[in-house]
Structure 1
Amino acid sequence: MKRMTVKSAALVTGFLAATAPVMAAQSTANLAVTATVADTCAITATTALAFATIDGGSVTDESVNGILTVVCTSAKTGVTVDMAGGNNASGGQRRMSDGGTAFLPYNIHSDSGHASEVAIDGEIYNGDVSAAVPLLINVYGQIPSGSYTAGVYTDTILVTLTY
C-alpha cells in the first residue's frame, strides 16, 4: 500500500508540473514624445464683404459687415493689421470693377457707424493678441450714395498682419 501512495504522489506531481503556467519574461522601455509649436501668427478673412444687389437706378447707401480673424501661438503686443487699396483703387478711393470699364466705389470702416474710415494702406487694428485665442476684427464696407451702372463688381484687398 505504501508503494501505491508513492506512485500516486509521483503521478500527481508530474501532472501538476505539466499543467503549471509558464511565466513570460517582460522588458519595458519609455518612448519619448516631443513636439515644437512654431511661434507664429496667421490672419484669415473669415467673412467676406458681400454687398446685396443694388438698384442701379436709385441712390443707395449700402453697408455690410465682414470679419478678419487673427490667431497667434503665443501672446503678442503691438500687433497691426493693415488694409491695402485693392486691385482697382484710384485717387485714394477703393473701387470694385465689373471687369471692363465700370467701377463701383466703396469704403472700409473699423466701426459700424462708419465714423472711422480705414485709409488705403491704413490700419484697421493695432493692439495685443492672446495666445491661441482667435481675435475677431470687424470690417465694415459701405458703398457711397450714388447711381451706378448695372454689372457684377468685385475687388480683392490685401490684408497684412505685422507682429
Structure 2
Amino acid sequence: MFTSNKNRVISVATAAILLVSSAPVFASSTATGSLINTATVLASCTVVGSTIAFGNYTSSQVDQTGNVAVLCTNGTSYTIGLDAGAGTGATTSVRKLSGSLGGTLNYALYRDSGHTNNWGSTIGTDTQAGTGNGLIQNLTVYGRIAGSQTPLAGVYTDTVTVTLTY
C-alpha cells in the first residue's frame, strides 16, 4: 500500500505540474480611444488713429501724415473708413478744421502719397481694404491743407472718426 500511496502522490504532483505548464498563456492587450481637441479662433479687430499735426499755416499748402494702426486676427479681411469729421459743413472730400476764435480751415485726407485717392467712408469706393496678419499694420493717412486760404487767427482742430469694418 505504501507504494500505491507514493505512486498516487507522484501522479498528483505530475498532474499538477502538467496542468500548470499546459495552462494557456494570456498575452497582454491594449485598447485605444480618441481624445478630440478643439479650439475656435474668433475674428476680431481693433483700430487706433494718430494725430496729424499740420503745424503753423501761413496760406501755403501744408502736407503732413498720420497713421491708423490696425490689429486683426490673421486672415480677417477689413476696410477702414474715415468720416467727414466734426467741422460744420464738412464732407469726406472737404473736411473742416474749426478755429478757436471762429472760422474754418479746409483740409483733405488721402490714402496715397500723391494725394489723389480721397479717404472717405463708402466701402468699395473710398475706403482702404486689407487683410489682418495677427500683427499691427500701420496705414498711412496723408493730410493736406490747401494754400491760399484766409482763416482767422487761432488754433484749429477737428476729430475724424475711424471706422473699421470686418
TM-score over 0.5 (shorter chain): yes
SS at match of 2:57: coil
Q: Does 1:94 align with 2:98?
A: no
Task: Measure, in 1, the Cα distance between the counterparts of 2:130 and 2:114.
Answer: 21
- Which 4+ residue blocks in structure 1 deviate beyond 2 angstroms? 35-39, 121-124
Task: Measure, in 2, the Cα distance between the counterparts of 1:127 and 1:38.
Answer: 18
Are the equivalent residues in 2 in contact too, given 1:67–1:139 (CA < 8 A)? yes
Query: Which of 147, 151, 154 is the aligned partner of 1:148?
Result: 151
Task: Measure, in 2, the Cα distance between the counterparts of 1:62 and 1:36.
Answer: 48
Task: Measure, in 2, the Cα distance between the counterparts of 1:80 and 1:107.
Answer: 19
Count of residue pairs the alignment pairs up: 122
Are the equivalent residues in 1 in contact too, given 2:110–2:117 (CA < 8 A)? yes
Task: Measure, in 2, the Cα distance between the counterparts of 1:86 and 1:100.
Answer: 19
State the shift of 1:154 in Å: 0.3
State the shift of 1:73 in Å: 2.9
2:80 aligned partner, one-letter code: V
Unaligned runs of 5+ in 2: 1-38
State the shift of 1:37 in Å: 6.9
Aligned pairs for 1:94-133 (under 5 A) are 94-119=95-120, 121-122=121-122, 123-130=126-133, 132-133=134-135
SS at match of 1:161: strand
Unaligned runs of 5+ in 1: 1-34
Q: Does 1:162 align with 2:165?
A: yes
SS at match of 1:139: strand
Are the equivalent residues in 2 in contact too, given 1:107–1:143 (CA < 8 A)? yes
Task: Measure, in 1, the Cα distance between the counterparts of 2:88 and 2:111.
Answer: 19
2:110 aligned partner, one-letter code: H
Of all paired residues, the percent bearing the same amino acid is 30
- Output one character per residue of 1:84-141: Cα deviation in whole Å (capped at 9) or x when no partner: 000015263210101453101100011111111224x2443113121x2111110011
Aligned pairs for 1:26-105 (under 5 A) are 39-45=43-49, 47-55=50-58, 59-77=59-77, 79-90=78-89, 92=91, 93-105=94-106
State the shift of 1:159 in Å: 0.5
Task: Measure, in 1, the Cα distance between the counterparts of 2:158 and 2:143.
Answer: 12
Are the equivalent residues in 2 in contact too, given 1:70–1:135 (CA < 8 A)? yes
